[in-house]
Structure 1
Amino acid sequence: MARQFKQRTGKPFFAWAIVKETAATNRTFQTLIAQQDTRLFSDDGRRIDMHQPQVVNALTLMQRLYAEGHVKPDLDYGAANQAFLNGEAGVVVVGTWTIDQFLREAKRPGSALRGGYTVVPFPQLYQRPAVFADGHSWALLKGGAATPEQHAAALKLLRFIWTHSAEWARTGHLPVRRSVAQSEAFRALPFRENLTEITRTGAAMPGNVPTQRAIELLIGEDVSNLLISGKPVAEVQADVEKQVNKALKKVRR
């Protein structure tokens, strides 16, 4: 499809944030791994195994797309979104939080998206449908409220956020409550019907992997190097495994 798009339009199929944006490459890589029904981390979450054939499949595909010119090169997050809005690429690989922003742009006269903008989950390329899904969390830390009144107020805030899950999701995020995601009101919002499958197919990093944000950055950095500099797949496998396992080893149990 990417080759056909480039042949017919002369433009790359993807706008994809790679420069100074390790999160996007990590999300795509982990999506492709999850679609192959493969686990990167050990049962205890303390080791990563990059030497699996499914890892080679994912990295090789990503590298081929970039090397063949199907990804507009050298874009950071803002530039990737702008390239899509300007009609310089057919698809932007980004999270659901941009839905309403892009929808507003698509309604403007002369917009490159006018009449052609849609939203779909990451396509299934391997054995099963899956897409990397992460979220934002609100937590009440033990001992974080100095008085019973502050504790009660914090719980009231968390309850309010839970009750109004639909409102927090209106920008494009998926709600945290299954009942809200399946409600008629939510599914009636633009493109949400297309995205409700993510509530079933979303795949996250295992919960027992410590310092997850740091681990995601380590993975994404080397996968980005794979694309930008043409770093060999075998070197990326070795470097990610070395750096991630070193970082995990340092975390206190």
Structure 2
Amino acid sequence: MVSEQREILAEWSKKVRIGRMSRRSFLASTVALGLSSSAALTLLEGCAAPSGSGPSITYWNLFGGGDGARMIQMENAFAQSNPHIHLQPVTLAWGDPYYTKLTMASAGGRPPDVAISHMTRVATYVAQDLLEPFDLNELAKYDIAEDKFLSPIWQRAHHGDKVYAIPLDTHPFVMYYNVEICRKAGLLDADGNLKPFQGINGVLDAFKSAKEASGGYGVVFEIQGVTPWRLFYSLYSQLGGAIFTPDNKELALDDAKAEQALSFMADLTINTKVAASNIDYAGSVALFGGGKSAFLWNGEWEVTTFENQKGFEFSMAPFPLVFDKYRVQADSHSFVLPRQIATDPERRSASLEFISYMLKNSYEWAQGGHVPSYLPVTDSEEYKKLKPQSNYASVASNVVFDPNAWFSGSGSELENQAGAAFQTILNGQASPQQGLRQFRDALQKLLSIKLPFQQ
């Protein structure tokens, strides 16, 4: 299917260049194939005959919205700085559509030279032999080495003794706060920063004060989606809980710890009502942006949304320590090398040059909220002055990624099943014990499915 799509797209782009198809028709047709309009334009430009004799590399990613616009800016900057390399970027639909197409392209022998993958998806690709490991000696030539990354993130890129991913960022679960409401609630210090609060009582007390000051809610977060998983996994990990055995073949859920985390979540929406129940993603963002909640728990990628909201004063802080040891759920956008039928040394070198450029220039990427993985950027004074984005950068050393199961990772079935089970608890339709039983049963069914690449 992917090879057929590429042939169709190449033919369409040729028709545009010779005047037999309009750009409008081209855009409508490519969107029907699953590409965004911005990706279609990028593809059209990339399909034009390149000038010069340098290598041409294809790059696939799944970035939309503000991330997509920022990535296109970075791609254009790379192209201008490296005229000897012809970059052909393609943006595909986020989530399973993207990963399905990447799998098909790699299995069919027509993959891109470089692609983006969430770090939590890499293990499955490695198990299917769809990725090539990076040559550490070659990476070193482009200033990509272990000492340029936080150890936990770099180690996560390993499978066996080989590196299969180069992390661009870490994107953790964070806490946004309305400065005006928090000031009114007495939650800011003399410098106007949020006073730290922790523990079950400390968090609930802060949200109760914030609820009274806001006239709405203390905190909001998505209920009808996958955010309940991110919240649960952060809390459960703070209790030291594991989802699977180390080989990811059997369930290792600790019912007592899981119920403790889920009971706290139910306290927020049902018992104390400091949090809104039964709202979707857009609803949670709108409530916070509309001044109806003092706090928002979400990914850090919404920072641009609130920065663009005129007259809205907000800031950001790490997700709080509620239980024993600080942990917070996160993932990492990473560069991978899909398996090639035959590796072209010139294109591989150009691919590494592209990855290196994106890492070294990831300050622009950081402005969208993500914590840069490349330490020379994260440790720079420029980044430290970037507010509120740098306020939560310290958590990158204490993040927990989704387990390495075939059905796990960002946008995965694990997250979907967790969301379905836990929202019943958050909406008062089920007890923590009942919701946990639903989640356990769903995971057990997924574990029982034996795929060809599983050992």
Verify same fold: TM over 0.5.
yes
Q: Could you tell me how far 1:175 is from its partner in structure 2?
A: 0.8
- For the residue of structure 2 that corresponds to 1:102, the secondary structure is helix
Q: Which position in structure 1 is the counterpart of 2:118? A: none
Q: Does 2:254 match 1:57?
A: no
Q: What amino acid maps onto 2:389 in structure 1?
A: R
Deviates more, 1:153-162 or 1:232-241: 153-162
- For the residue of structure 2 that corresponds to 1:137, the secondary structure is strand
Change (3 A) 1:195 1:149: same
Distance, in Å, in 2 between the alignment partners of 1:3 and 1:167 is: 37
- For the residue of structure 2 that corresponds to 1:81, the secondary structure is helix
Distance, in Å, in 1 between the alignment partners of 2:324 and 2:300 is: 24
Distance, in Å, in 1 between the alignment partners of 2:363 and 2:450 is: 36
Q: Does 2:219 match 1:219?
A: no
Q: Which position in structure 1 is the counterpart of 2:220? A: 15
Q: What amino acid maps onto 1:223 in structure 2?
A: F
Q: Could you tell me how far 1:78 is from its partner in structure 2?
A: 1.4
Distance, in Å, in 2 between the alignment partners of 1:222 and 1:154 is: 42
Q: What amino acid maps onto 1:173 in structure 2?
A: H
Q: 1:96 aligns with which of 274, 280, 300?
A: 300
- For the residue of structure 2 that corresponds to 1:190, the secondary structure is coil
How many corresponding residue pairs?
243
Q: Which position in structure 2 is the counterpart of 1:81? A: 285
Q: Could you tell me how far 1:231 is from its partner in structure 2?
A: 1.0
Normalised by the size of structure 1, how large is the TM-score?
0.87
Change (3 A) 1:48 1:177: farther
Q: Does 2:402 match 1:198?
A: no
- For the residue of structure 2 that corresponds to 1:40, the secondary structure is coil
Is the 2:233–2:329 Cα contact (8 Å) retained in structure 1? yes
Is the 2:425–2:435 Cα contact (8 Å) retained in structure 1? yes
Is the 1:46–1:249 Cα contact (8 Å) retained in structure 2? no
Instruction: String of CA shifts for 1:49-104, please: whole Å, max 9, x gaps.
Output: 33431111110010121113222232211121111111011111111112233123
- For the residue of structure 1 that corresponds to 2:220, the secondary structure is strand
Distance, in Å, in 2 between the alignment partners of 1:48 and 1:226 is: 21
Q: 2:230 aligns with which of 20, 27, 31?
A: 27
Q: Which position in structure 2 is the counterpart of 1:125? A: 322
Q: Could you tell me how far 1:144 is from its partner in structure 2?
A: 6.5
Q: Which position in structure 2 is the counterpart of 1:230? A: 429
Q: Does 2:267 match 1:70?
A: no
Q: Could you tell me how far 1:188 is from its partner in structure 2?
A: 0.9
Q: Which position in structure 1 is the counterpart of 2:155? A: none
The alignment yields a C-alpha RMSD, in angstroms, of: 2.1
Larger Cα-atom Rg: 2
Q: 2:405 aligns with which of 203, 209, 212?
A: 209
Q: Which position in structure 2 is the counterpart of 1:160? A: 357
Q: What amino acid maps onto 2:372 in structure 1?
A: P
Q: Which position in structure 2 is the counterpart of 1:3? A: 208
Distance, in Å, in 1 between the alignment partners of 2:251 and 2:374 is: 31
Distance, in Å, in 1 between the alignment partners of 2:296 and 2:364 is: 25
> Could you say which structure has the greater relative contact order, defined with CA pairs below 8 angstroms and 6 or more residues apart?
1
- For the residue of structure 1 that corresponds to 2:351, the secondary structure is helix
Change (3 A) 1:82 1:18: same
Instruction: String of CA shifts for 1:155-182, please: whole Å, max 9, x gaps.
Output: 3333332332322222111112233222
Change (3 A) 1:80 1:235: same
Displaced runs of 4+ in structure 1, greater than 4 A? 144-150
Q: What amino acid maps onto 2:358 in structure 1?
A: I
Q: Could you tell me how far 1:18 is from its partner in structure 2?
A: 1.2
Q: Could you tell me how far 1:229 is from its partner in structure 2?
A: 4.4
